[in-house]
């Protein structure tokens, strides 16, 4: 009889194994530490929200809403359908409005971290379940807060040792100057519209900015000559963009203005930015964000400015490089003979209670095999119990680096392991 096939995880998802987690945890601690240094507070919205939320905020014409959402259809006729979040921003704004957080403070600075779902074609650095960390600063139009979000992301990258990335910024203008830009872009594309791909022709009518996001090489080439949003900015938007650039310079952050950044989401106004890394291959965005000054009002809240970014956790980890952190334990408890096994277990429990980490054998293996396990576990000490030690109510402490062995009471063993005794 053939054994049953082993189940496989869904395409585009990942299993995080023990050896992957030290790097994850290091990044997660850096994220928490840095966001808190900058005065951001953590929020945790639910994993899924009403589908309508993303239609209204992420945008009907975005790739995300058009084809990437993991949606659970309504269970009742005419009922609500739900979608596993394809991004954090809409849920965070919903959370702010529903809990009336803007009544408590005029400027909210919130951070988050967790899984995100997009039904994309999986490849290196692109998954269907991935993770993001990021911030949303809601309630201010100050260009310095745009700068602060960029500085916080840069701070995290520096803290985890990511180098060689680039910060690229652009401005999309406000609803007013976007009108002028939309006209300019349509006028540029119209004469050649028939040559564009089907997707672009559809986007031309629904949301012409998205044509600039097309990946088809011939369309990309044609778009090289397209007018840029920064060239149609109104006075106020130009001043805002200039202030962001000055702020970045004053903060000592290197950046480049890239007129081609349009971002794939509908809500952006004014500043948009991306962090890219050449180490990542074709999916080179470590993270991105920008201003979305109209979204809060559009979702039924007050008319306030907002800015934020989200980083791709897996991408930042890729840029951190493969990191295999050797597992280290304080001790490995060893039973020299079968009769001492429960004493070895008791010794391990006493050491753990004293705050020391360690393991022991559960397979009744030989002394030699247990010493090999101690080595493999990266234990600093073997704590050995045999008939001789048992008779004295003591344990043998053996430094794994070849130092001097000592037979001592368990309390003293704990002190030695903690480095309190020479
Ligand atoms: P986004 O550019 O769609 O922006 O995503 C941010 C980052 O998430 C990307 O730069 C990338 O690192 C990562 N990412 C996106 N899709 C995938 C995927 N399939 N697999 C792995 N990583 C991925 C947003 O999500 C906005 N909410 C950012 C924002 C916050 N804007 C304002 N506030």
Q: According to the model, what pLDDT value does residue 378 have?
A: 92
Atom of ligand 1 nearest to the CA of 315: 12
Q: Provide the angle, in degrees to the nearest 10, between the axes of the packed helices 143-159 and 21-37.
A: 150
Q: What is the DSSP string of 15-51?
A: PPPTTTHHHHHHHHHHHHHHHHHTT-EE----SEEEH
Joined tokens for residue 188: 């540029």
Atom of ligand 1 nearest to the CA of 87: 25
Minimum CA distance residue for ligand 1 atom 2: 288
Going from the Cα of 388 to the center of ligand 1, the distance in angstroms, rounded, reads: 62
Q: According to the model, what pLDDT value does residue 203 have?
A: 87
Instruction: Provide the greatest CA pair distance for the chain.
Output: 96
Q: According to the model, what pLDDT value does residue 306 have?
A: 98
Going from the Cα of 310 to the center of ligand 1, the distance in angstroms, rounded, reads: 6
Q: According to the model, what pLDDT value does residue 73 have?
A: 92
Going from the Cα of 169 to the center of ligand 1, the distance in angstroms, rounded, reads: 16
Domains delineated in the chain = 21-177+233-320 (3.30.930.10), 331-418 (3.40.50.800)
Atom of ligand 1 nearest to the CA of 285: 10
Q: Which of 110, 290, 310, 318 to mutate to test the pocket of ligand 1 (most atoms within 8 A of CB)?
A: 310
Helices and strands of the chain, counted as H and E runs: 16, 16
Q: According to the model, what pLDDT value does residue 98 have?
A: 98
Q: According to the model, what pLDDT value does residue 61 have?
A: 84
Q: Which residues contact 209 (CB under 8 A, 6 or more apart)?
A: 172, 182, 185, 262
Going from the Cα of 210 to the center of ligand 1, the distance in angstroms, rounded, reads: 16
Q: According to the model, what pLDDT value does residue 262 have?
A: 82
* Residue 12 and residue 127 in contact, taking contact as beta carbons nearer than 8 Å: yes
What does pLDDT average to in each consecutive run of 10 residues of the chain (422 residues)? 93 95 95 98 98 94 92 90 98 98 95 98 96 98 98 97 96 90 92 92 87 88 91 95 98 95 87 95 94 96 97 96 73 97 98 97 96 94 97 97 95 96 62
Atom of ligand 1 nearest to the CA of 316: 12
Going from the Cα of 289 to the center of ligand 1, the distance in angstroms, rounded, reads: 8
Phi, psi (deg, nearest 5) at residue 288:
-165, 165
Q: According to the model, what pLDDT value does residue 266 have?
A: 83
Going from the Cα of 180 to the center of ligand 1, the distance in angstroms, rounded, reads: 28
* Residue 331 and residue 358 in contact, taking contact as beta carbons nearer than 8 Å: yes
Going from the Cα of 260 to the center of ligand 1, the distance in angstroms, rounded, reads: 17
Mode of pairing for the β-strands spanning 329-335 and 379-385: parallel
Pocket of ligand 1 (CB under 6 A): 87-89, 118, 120, 125-127, 130, 132, 134, 136, 264-265, 285-290, 292, 308-312, 314-315
Q: According to the model, what pLDDT value does residue 325 have?
A: 60
Q: According to the model, what pLDDT value does residue 77 have?
A: 86
Q: Which of 10, 63, 288, 299 to mutate to test the pocket of ligand 1 (most atoms within 8 A of CB)?
A: 288
């Amino acid at each position: 009889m053939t054994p049953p096939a082993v189940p496989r995880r869904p395409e585009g998802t990942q299993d995080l194994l023990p050896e992957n987690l030290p790097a994850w945890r290091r990044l997660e601690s850096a994220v928490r530490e840095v966001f808190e240094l900058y005065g951001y507070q953590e929020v945790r919205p639910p994993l899924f929200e009403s589908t309508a939320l993303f239609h209204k905020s992420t945008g009907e014409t975005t790739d995300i809403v058009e084809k990437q959402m993991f949606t659970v259809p309504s269970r009742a006729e005419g009922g609500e359908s739900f979608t596993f979040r394809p991004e954090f921003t809409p849920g965070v704004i919903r959370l702010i409005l529903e809990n009336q957080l803007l009544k408590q403070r005029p400027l909210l600075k919130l951070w988050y971290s967790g899984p995100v779902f997009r039904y994309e074609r999986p490849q290196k650095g692109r998954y269907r379940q991935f993770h993001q960390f990021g911030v949303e600063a809601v309630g201010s139009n100050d260009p310095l807060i745009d700068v602060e979000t960029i500085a916080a992301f840069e701070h995290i990258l520096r803290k985890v040792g990511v180098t060689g990335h680039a910060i690229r910024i652009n401005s999309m203008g406000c609803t007013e100057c976007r009108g002028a830009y939309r006209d300019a872009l349509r006028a540029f594309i119209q004469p050649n519209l028939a040559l564009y791909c089907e997707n672009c022709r559809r986007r031309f009518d629904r949301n012409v900015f998205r044509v600039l996001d097309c990946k088809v090489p011939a369309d990309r080439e044609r778009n090289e000559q397209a007018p840029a949003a920064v060239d149609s900015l109104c006075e106020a938007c130009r001043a805002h963009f200039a202030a962001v650039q000055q702020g970045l310079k004053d903060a000592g952050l290197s950046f480049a203005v890239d007129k081609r950044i349009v971002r794939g989401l509908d809500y952006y106004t004014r500043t948009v930015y991306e962090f890219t890394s050449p180490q990542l291959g074709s999916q080179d965005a470590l993270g991105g964000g920008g201003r979305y000054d109209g979204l809060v009002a559009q979702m039924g809240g007050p008319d306030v400015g907002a800015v934020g970014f989200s980083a791709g956790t897996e991408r930042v980890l890729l840029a951190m490089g493969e990191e295999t952190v050797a597992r280290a334990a304080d001790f490995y408890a060893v039973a020299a003979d079968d009769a001492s096994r429960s004493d070895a277990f008791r010794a391990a429990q006493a050491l753990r209670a004293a705050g020391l980490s360690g393991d022991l054998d559960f397979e009744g293996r030989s002394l030699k095999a247990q010493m090999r396990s101690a080595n493999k576990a990266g234990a600093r000490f073997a704590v050995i119990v045999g008939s001789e030690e048992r008779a004295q109510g003591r344990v043998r402490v053996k430094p794994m680096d070849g130092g001097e062995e000592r037979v001592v009471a368990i309390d003293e063993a704990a002190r030695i392991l903690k480095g309190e005794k020479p």
